[in-house]
Chain A
């Protein structure tokens, strides 16, 4: 059997030298948020036009399936993907298990200062780089300008307490039943919202290697979340929502405030798919009085090469193209570039000055989620515990204490 495969592959490779058949790369991307499928297809076409020897086979999966798709394919050995999109929370785990190629030496030193430092942490584990950052993202506070005006509110909130007060006014004036909507489904999206609040209240996930999210800012963050549900200021359906649900509710004019990624700005302002187009405001997520001015979490993603890929050079060429400033500036509406210089380019700022203004603050504040190899376990544990508190079966302190106890054995 092996000999037959060898014979076949020899035959195929001899054919390929004759016809110079193009190298086909298999690339894995996600379906929702950031660059759309259409964006990625357009970028790929442009790359293929410039590199006739390389063909790209694109595959799109929901974010929720991305991690498991990467690890199952990488641990099966060769014939997997050549380029994968990965989340900021995975490099430590992927590096430890040998899933991604160390590309530190491929990155020009000159890029170090030209790219945001938060972007670099996205692809770094133990001082080595396992890819190139691509999607530089964080959660922003979106607001419905029209509703704020009708409620007589002059400016969007600067602190979470202020947000609560404004939401109460909007609810009292019956402008909308539930002023705030969140992505609090049992998923990573919940951790992203929680991290934003935790950072605003000055919390820490770990201090000195021990879980600390059950004290101080971490506890305050969850208390804020449960409180906003109890007071009826937050949409109770949030506990089954992901980011796309948040976008639909906000775009339908059924919320005054929402926490979401960059991509919602362009989509909620698109009259074809939004009833609130033209009324969408965006500011950095609020801070907490006396603790922080604003808050943000690192929700960035990078592009890497699985260790089993037989076409690492071509894969790197494709990654370099996708992450290049010109390619990113051309598609800057759903995801903002990783390059600092891009933020003053007219092509990027035009039509989305508010987004870029908010980004200039938020991108420098991005708070990281824990960088431990067992992050998936920690995240699952936290998701369940946070939901217990949100659904009222435990108090925030109970939920976080028991999570912290279980989390102390994760490394």
Chain B
């Protein structure tokens, strides 16, 4: 650790420069976190009366974990996360493999890839609402005109299809991030090993599994972690497309938090809901990190 010892005076000098940033971070991240934690143990409500909230201990957490509506919304978030991230990874990797091939217009196709990801979620949600529209929607037109479906149907009005349709809209927007990261990783795979493998007659599937995947696995798991965290706290696309309906079929945990805090004015239990979500997210991240560590060790 000679290097560390030599660096320490410089590190000491660095602190004053870091201080402003640390203070800002403490204000914008630390304060809300601690405040939310505090609120979750009180009966705080949104009001303009200046009432001091009373301490409740673990009451709000007990309420959250026994409230079937909230538990159902947690399940909806989990379903949304698992299905959308899985689809994004599969489609993302396939598209990346395609765009890694040499063909005319490759640069253009790669530029196009970023487009869905660059669209704001609200715009994407509104756009898909139109695509799914039961009277004028493009999806209904496509499926009926190609003979795959007899009649127009209400995709977002039926509990059985609403969640999957919202997931599809989310996948369309977010697969491109996974594809982009996978594509960047693919650039680092040396061509020679493929040539050697092709000469040896290794089947294409084995080539992908044994040669390509190990190369892109690291960056890909970063993408998966990012997308999992994002997907688990999904709110905006739900708010625009279904507002939790029909019959609560698309009500996610974030939507419950929002509803509890801002529609019902229950800031205390709303904060407890939010913290339960934070805890689950933290567990997910820890799980991924552990998995990646094992992968690297192996």
Contact = CB atoms under 8 A, between A and B. Distances in A.
For A64, A75, A186, A377, the residue with the greatest tally of chain B CB atoms inside 10 Å of its CB is: A186
Contacts of B135: 237, 248-249, 252, 254
A97 B45 contact: yes
B246 A186 contact: yes
Given A71-B262, A239-B157, A187 B247 contact: no
B243 interface: yes
A68 B47 contact: no
B145 interface: no
Contacts of A68: 258, 262-263
A287 interface: no
Contacts of A202: none
For B46, B48, B258, B263, the residue with the greatest tally of chain A CB atoms inside 10 Å of its CB is: B48
B274 interface: no
A171 to B, nearest CB: 15
A254 B136 CA distance: 12
Interface in A55-90: 64, 67-68, 71-72, 74-75, 77
Interface in B233-258: 242-248, 258
Contacts of B46: 71-72, 75, 97
A186 B265 contact: no
Mostly, the B contact residues are loop
Contacts, number: 89
A240 interface: yes
A99 B47 contact: yes
B48 A307 contact: yes
Interface size class of A (residues with CB under 8 A): 35 or more
A388 B158 CA distance: 10
Interface size class of B (residues with CB under 8 A): 20 to 34
B48 A74 contact: yes
Given A236-B157, A237-B134, A240-B154, A186 B48 contact: no
Contact of B48 (A98, A185, A187, A238): A98
Interface of A: 64, 67-68, 71-72, 74-75, 77, 93, 97-99, 185-187, 236-241, 248-249, 252, 254, 306-308, 374, 376-377, 380, 383-384, 387-388, 391, 393
27 contacts: A64-B243, A68-B262, A68-B263, A71-B46, A72-B46, A75-B46, A75-B265, A97-B48, A97-B49, A99-B47, A185-B246, A186-B245, A236-B154, A236-B157, A237-B157, A240-B245, A240-B246, A241-B157, A252-B135, A254-B135, A306-B48, A374-B264, A387-B246, A387-B248, A388-B247, A391-B247, A393-B159
